């Protein structure tokens, strides 16, 4: 996990639930807002940290602990105040296993490490948050040997590389009667300032979405 530290001498503290301990802290450095951190479930531990760009206004990156175990589960990265990339620990084992890239509020592509060996073995391409292509490295040689094609978020075609040369050898078309409902489009979401101010918890951005937490093989 990438290391960040939200600390400084100029600190403003707020006790949201009036239990005698601070739930939100805003840190300033050299007169500008540097970072904020919040205890979203009021258990006395920080669950979210937000760091700001040099102007003290636009968000630079965020850290989230969604299962309240004291370890970071998601890193969010911004450019010019817009969410552009996410790194997630979907298995909650303190190791990043999913990378998402964002465009106009939607996931545009993703990479996943299903084996927890530090390298991706699933690559997905999205349009307006709906997956259109997915490739898989099932034999762990570093290159795809299975490809899925989607239309409207539904799987319609699968290609297989049976001899390991990196080229599809056979194709399976999905029968129309087997096509279930499409999954919802996958959005890139951020925690708003108002949610920090009231310390309301938010679920991981990718939970329950196509191709991320469902573990597409």
Report the pLDDT value the prediction gives residue 165, as an integer from 0 to 100: 87
Report the pLDDT value the prediction gives residue 175, as an integer from 0 to 100: 72
Report the pLDDT value the prediction gives residue 66, as an integer from 0 to 100: 87
Asked whether residue 204 carries a pLDDT value surpassing 60, the answer given is no
> Does 20 or 2 have the greater pLDDT score?
20
Question: Which residues, including other chains, have CB under 8 Å from residue 158's CB and lie 6 or more apart?
Answer: 146, 147, 148, 149, 171, 172, 174
- Return the structure tokens found at 164: 């390991």
Which region among 41-55, 74-88, 166-180, 186-200 has the lowest average model confidence (pLDDT)? 186-200
Asked whether residue 181 carries a pLDDT value surpassing 80, the answer given is no
For the whole model, what pTM was predicted? 0.78
What are the φ/ψ torsions at residue 52 (nearest 5 degrees)? -115, 155
* Residues in a beta bridge with 151: 154
Element spanning 84, H or E? strand 82-88
Ordered structural domains, the chain, with CATH:
10-198 (3.90.930)
In the predicted model, what is the mean pLDDT of the chain? 85
Torsion-angle region of 214 (φ positive above 0: left; ψ -120 to 50: alpha; else: beta): alpha
| Residue range 202-217: mean pLDDT, rounded | 40
Asked whether residue 210 carries a pLDDT value surpassing 50, the answer given is no
Which region among 130-144, 176-190, 199-213 has the lowest average model confidence (pLDDT)? 199-213
Report the pLDDT value the prediction gives residue 154, as an integer from 0 to 100: 86
> Does 211 or 84 have the greater pLDDT score?
84
Percentage of the residues of the chain whose pLDDT score is greater than 90? 56
């Amino acid at each position: 996990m990438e290391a960040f530290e939200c600390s400084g001498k100029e600190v403003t503290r707020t006790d949201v639930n009036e239990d005698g301990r601070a739930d939100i802290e805003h840190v300033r450095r050299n007169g500008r807002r540097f970072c904020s951190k919040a205890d979203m479930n009021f258990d006395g531990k920080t669950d979210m940290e937000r760091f700001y760009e040099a102007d003290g206004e636009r968000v630079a990156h965020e850290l989230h602990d969604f299962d309240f175990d004291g370890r970071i589960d998601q890193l969010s990265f911004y450019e010019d105040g817009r969410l552009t990339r996410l790194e997630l620990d979907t298995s909650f084992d303190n190791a990043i296993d999913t990378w998402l890239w964002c465009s106009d509020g939607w996931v545009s592509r993703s990479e996943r490490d299903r084996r927890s060996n530090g390298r991706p073995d699933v690559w997905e391409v999205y349009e307006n948050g709906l997956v259109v292509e997915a490739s898989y490295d099932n034999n762990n040689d570093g290159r795809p040997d299975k490809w899925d094609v989607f239309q409207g978020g539904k799987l319609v075609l699968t290609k297989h590389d049976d001899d390991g040369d990196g080229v599809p050898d056979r194709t399976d078309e999905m029968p129309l009667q087997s096509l279930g409902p499409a999954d919802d489009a996958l959005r890139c979401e951020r925690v708003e300032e108002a949610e920090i101010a009231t310390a309301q918890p938010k679920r991981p951005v990718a939970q329950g979405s196509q191709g991320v937490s469902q573990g597409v093989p």
